[in-house]
Structure 1
Amino acid sequence: MMYVSLTCAVSLAAVFGHAGLGKARDRKGFEKSIRDLDWFPPGVVPTVARSVAAMELLVVLAFAASPVAGPKAAVVGFSGALTLLIGFTGVIVLALKRGVRARCNCFGTAGAEYSLRHVVRNSLLAGMAVTGVLTVGADHRAHISGMTLAILTGLIIAGLTVAMDDLLGLFRM
């Protein structure tokens, strides 16, 4: 993997891992956020919640498999992340257009109400997925220093992404 692709993969894997585990840990809270959208019959909501968390964790598994399975696994991870991000962004845009006041339970905790910043965040993450696909598998010798920097950068980006609502809340006080 090129360093850019590695940075994107680490960021997306960490974001989706945190999101999937958070949703699994607070299943009831995530189910409530889905119910608040008022799109699914109540009996279907638990299945939707479990499916979303499972798909997020499958993205993480694809990235985790890529050092052994090769670039194709990374492409599966990037493609899965992009597909989910397009779906999540569509849900947020439709909720905003309908005036639905639901809270983002994106990472297993009740975050802020859906807003344009969630659309922007998801769009930036989708851009990372596209960038990752375009740069995956480039042939060059990896250096430990470059890999370390790529991994650390990816983790910092993921941390800022996960904490976005909290960080923006600090500046509003």
Structure 2
Amino acid sequence: MDVACRLLLAAVFVTAAWTKVSGKAGWAAFVGSLRQLDQVPGPLLRPAAFAVVATEIVVAVLLLVPVRVAGWIGFALAGCLLLSFTLVIGRALSRGNRAPCRCFGASSTPLGPIHIVRNLILVCVAVLGLAGASAPGAFEVPYALLAGVAGLVAGILITAFEDLVALFKPTAR
């Protein structure tokens, strides 16, 4: 379970960080989305954006390091970061702010309860990973590989969560 949770969250955080820093347009869109959320004072927008991306990268690296202590720290930091994101989204929604989420690059999907659900699912993965990283047990390569592939696929699906939900959402007639 530890391996699946590590790779799921690592895939999510690598994708999130990459889409924000892979080009000027991605970075500008992310900083703009923070501005639209209206929860960070203007002079702190860029430092806050940098802190978010730096933390996402640190989380991914910690989760990819195959050392138990790195896993504990990575899972705990991931859970805290995801809870922070959830609180920011909840606060924005309570104020009627539905700015598009730029979690995984350019998106026109306005903030909504689905973003809170996605983040809470990821918090649960972080908690499960922390529990799995704390549990003693033998490391068996075939099971770890299978769990790793499952985690990686789940991580990729989570990054496309908004699109998958929109795909199954009933259309207005």
Is the TM-score greater than 0.5? Answer: yes
Give the aligned CA root-mean-square deviation in angstroms. 1.3
Partners of 1:129 and 1:88 lie apart in 2 by 14
Q: How does 1:58-77 map to 2 (within 5 A)?
A: 58-65=58-65, 67=66, 70-77=67-74
Contact 1:9 1:132 (8 Å CA) reproduced:
yes
Contact 1:103 1:111 (8 Å CA) reproduced:
yes
The one-letter amino acid of 1:122's match is N
Aligned equivalent of 2:34: 34
Contact 1:103 1:110 (8 Å CA) reproduced:
yes
Aligned equivalent of 2:86: 89
Contact 1:111 1:165 (8 Å CA) reproduced:
no
Partners of 2:90 and 2:52 lie apart in 1 by 18
In structure 1, the residue corresponding to 2:2 is in which secondary structure? Answer: helix
Show structure 1 runs of 5+ residues with no match: none
81-90 vs 15-24, greater mean Cα deviation? 15-24
Aligned equivalent of 1:8: 5
Contact 2:63 2:70 (8 Å CA) reproduced:
yes
Partners of 1:94 and 1:141 lie apart in 2 by 43
Contact 1:24 1:108 (8 Å CA) reproduced:
no
Aligned equivalent of 2:139: 142
Aligned equivalent of 2:50: 50
The CA deviation string for residues 20-74 of structure 1, in whole angstroms up to 9 with x for no partner, is 1111121100011100011223222111111101100000111122x1xx21110
The CA deviation string for residues 74-93 of structure 1, in whole angstroms up to 9 with x for no partner, is 00100110010010000010
The CA deviation string for residues 95-131 of structure 1, in whole angstroms up to 9 with x for no partner, is 1100012111001222511111111110010011111
Partners of 1:77 and 1:150 lie apart in 2 by 18
In structure 2, the residue corresponding to 1:27 is in which secondary structure? Answer: helix
Aligned equivalent of 1:22: 19
Partners of 2:37 and 2:21 lie apart in 1 by 19
Aligned equivalent of 2:122: 125
In structure 1, the residue corresponding to 2:47 is in which secondary structure? Answer: helix
Partners of 2:140 and 2:132 lie apart in 1 by 17
161-170 vs 125-134, greater mean Cα deviation? 161-170
Contact 2:6 2:64 (8 Å CA) reproduced:
no
In structure 1, the residue corresponding to 2:156 is in which secondary structure? Answer: helix
The one-letter amino acid of 2:90's match is V
In structure 2, the residue corresponding to 1:105 is in which secondary structure? Answer: coil
Partners of 2:108 and 2:82 lie apart in 1 by 17
Partners of 2:45 and 2:58 lie apart in 1 by 20
Matched residue pairs, number? 167
Partners of 2:49 and 2:125 lie apart in 1 by 25
Contact 2:7 2:64 (8 Å CA) reproduced:
no
Aligned equivalent of 2:106: 109
The one-letter amino acid of 2:119's match is N
